[in-house]
Amino acid sequence: MVDISLATLLTQVFTGLVLGMIFVLLAVGLSLIFGLMTVVNFAHGSFFMLGAYFGFFLLGLTGNFWLSLVVAPLMVGVFGLIVERLLVRPLYGRSVDDPLLLTFGLSLVLIEAARLIWGKIGVTFDPPRELAQAVNLGFTMFPVYRLFVIGVTGAVLLALWFFLGRTDLGLIIRAGSRDPLMVRALGIDLGRIRLLVFGIGTLLAGLAGVLAGPMRGVYAEMGVTIVIESFVVIVVGGMGSLAGAVLAGVMIGEVVSLTTLVAPKLAEIMVFVVMAIVLLVRPSGLLGEAGLLE
């Protein structure tokens, strides 16, 4: 029997919540892209990696973490727009395997490109001085930066909820995910909507990369494992459901964190055990029928 104090358990719960926020950002981006475009984007982990490297590059160039936090995800988002326009768009209407294989190949290209540009050895960058402290939560001293990650993710989710649920463009995106034929019949250019959604999804991956960089380090293969876990998140939450992605992201983050505390070697396996259990009980995922933020 493992003897674990309450303080240690609560600390690990908060750590799992931070990891869950990274999963949430990645999974929401994946879910957005899949919900509207039915594209399984295996390059999402590489966009995550690029966000971290762009953040590292901009921090070294300007010395300003806040500028890096804003500009690096935008750079990834713009790159995502180019990828959608030149590579993904010609595959619409074809087998779902085609964009899957394309994005898988793209991820390998981006990993090799990162190795050539930044080297095979990983790099690190620190959070700003004002976030490099620790705060007393009553049961432990917890890094302020990790609380900042939770806060930023919460703010992004709130903004996304408002955008999708309270703006005309957001409502068009939601309608397009359910009935693209009707959206076209109304004279709306679905191609532009798909371009925008792919850009938003990759931007979220880039933001996750910048936020994760100071905690996990930056290296070319950093997106390989986490993208698999992110796919597990959207399967558990329900394909195409943003609310499900948020719920499952937090849940998987806690599973990984708490399993690491008691049995570190089983942490990666438990992710798939949870997925198997959820799919056995509810094949469509936790909120698979909920749709976009419903």
DSSP type of residue 139: S
Instruction: Please determine, for residue 210, whether its predicted confidence score (pLDDT) is greater than 80.
Output: yes
Q: Is residue 70 within 8 Å of 156, Cβ to Cβ? A: no
Residue 179 placed within a domain: yes
Both tokens of 139, joined, read: 């049961």
The total domain count for the chain is 1
Domain housing 142? 23-223
Instruction: Please determine, for residue 291, whether its predicted confidence score (pLDDT) is greater than 60.
Output: no
- d(C-alpha 2, C-alpha 287), whole Å: 34
Residue 63 placed within a domain: yes
Residue 1 placed within a domain: no
Residue 253 placed within a domain: no
Residue 40 placed within a domain: yes
Residue 109 placed within a domain: yes
- Indicate the pLDDT class of residue 3, thresholds 50, 70 and 90: low
Instruction: Tell me what pLDDT residue 192 has.
Output: 87
Residue 231 placed within a domain: no
Residue with tokens 């490297």, as numbered in its chain: 53
Question: What average pLDDT does the chain have?
Answer: 88
DSSP type of residue 134: E
Instruction: Please determine, for residue 293, whether its predicted confidence score (pLDDT) is greater than 50.
Output: no
Both tokens of 55, joined, read: 């953040």
Beta strand segments in the chain, E: 134-136, 141-143
Instruction: Tell me what pLDDT residue 289 has.
Output: 60
- Stretch 126-132: mean pLDDT: 89
Residue 161 placed within a domain: yes
Neighbouring residues of 111: CB distance < 8 A, sequence distance ≥ 6? 46, 49, 220, 221, 223, 224
Q: Is the pTM of this model over 0.85?
A: yes
- d(C-alpha 92, C-alpha 266), whole Å: 39
Helix 222-237 / helix 6-37 crossing angle, nearest 10 deg = 80
Please state, for a pLDDT cut of 70, what percent of the chain lies above it: 96
Q: Is residue 106 within 8 Å of 83, Cβ to Cβ? A: yes
Residue with tokens 């937090």, as numbered in its chain: 250
